[in-house]
Chains A and B, each alone.
Chain A
């Protein structure tokens, strides 16, 4: 989102404008909202891991194959990846600008989509095809 290099002078000048006001507000709200939902994710994750850590595939199919557990876990995992991408954006914005920021942001997006895709596909495999 950011091309302009932000120097201490830009920050010190109260009349300067930098960053995208609308997108930044949206990122802020998204991060708070997804963060709150992630508390539910951690609760479900704790349940799933306590049930299934070190267990065989059949046990994982039995627990995650219950659509009331598998489908919410998949949905919450997607929200987690949104939170991950947004949080990493905050970090990247602080240390990079211009082309390198755009490149790293793209890698960030690819990683988060990959996590979401593989996670959801794996869970849905267990839920719908055993």
Chain B
């Protein structure tokens, strides 16, 4: 139940977040100066926080989608199993997000 709401919420967050991606691409296409502005905003602590949450939202929504693929084959639907699967998507998304940021941003 809660994870169904989370899937919808992250879906809507990704919907809005797509504007961030397109804004970055458009600034790059436009010229160096607009790109500098976008890079400064996205590179600020608040920008990085938003991008961190956006990346978690994307990963969580992807794992939630994979969970639905499993359920489409009528697997893992028993009580206990489905809760376990939902917890796996939550833990998995947090671990994956931290892994990506650790490898590609913080340690790099």
CB contact under 8 A between A91 and B29, given known A60-B35, A115-B18, A122-B22: no
Q: Is the beta-carbon distance between A115 and B19 smaller than 8 angstroms?
A: yes
Q: Is the beta-carbon distance between B42 and A54 smaller than 8 angstroms?
A: yes
Chain B nearest CB, measured from A82 CB (Å) = 12
A24 to B42, CA, bound (A): 38
In the assembled complex, A26 has its CB within 8 A of some CB on chain B: no
B40-73 interface (Cβ within 8 A of A): 42-43, 58-59, 62, 65, 68-69, 72
In the assembled complex, A104 has its CB within 8 A of some CB on chain B: no
A20-78 interface (Cβ within 8 A of B): 32, 35-36, 38-39, 42, 45-46, 50, 53-54, 56-57, 60-61, 64, 77
CB contact under 8 A between A84 and B26, given known A38-B62, A50-B104, A57-B35: no
B5-28 interface (Cβ within 8 A of A): 8, 11-12, 14-15, 18-19, 21-22, 25-26, 28
Q: Which residues of A contact B31 (CB under 8 A)?
A: 57
Interface size counted on chain A using CB atoms at 8 A: 32
In the assembled complex, A126 has its CB within 8 A of some CB on chain B: yes
Q: Is the beta-carbon distance between A57 and B104 smaller than 8 angstroms?
A: no
Q: Is the interface of B mostly helix, strand, loop or mixed?
A: helix
- Chain A: residues with CB nearer than 8 A to chain B? 32, 35-36, 38-39, 42, 45-46, 50, 53-54, 56-57, 60-61, 64, 77, 80-81, 84, 87-88, 90-91, 115, 118-119, 121-123, 125-126
